Amino acid sequence: MKVKEIIRLLEEDGWYFKRQSGSHRVYRHPTKLGIAVVPDHGLNKELKPGTEQSILKQAGLK
């Protein structure tokens, strides 16, 4: 899955961009606890499977 695809999934679930720290975008949700951190080394870059699963787990989508 590409970075822009996972960002789209997060935003469709209600997550919003909070801030960027270096090459990592931090997303928050109005009702869910915690944050979801998405590495941004280019929106068209493929995420490694473990990274993808970690982001989905942080967001409560898996």
The pLDDT assigned to 19 comes to: 98
Give residue 42's Cα distance to chain centre: 13
- CB of 2 within 8 A of CB of 45? yes
Tell me the mean pLDDT in the region 32-45: 95
Q: Specify which residues 36 forms β-bridges with.
A: 27
Tell me the mean pLDDT in the region 17-38: 97
Q: Which CATH class is domain 3-58?
A: alpha beta
Q: Quick one: pLDDT band at residue 62, thresholds 50, 70, 90?
A: confident
Q: pTM value?
A: 0.92
CA dist 27 and 57 (Å) reads 13
pLDDT > 90? residue 18: yes
Cβ burial of 16 (10 Å; 0-12, 13-18, 19+) is: exposed
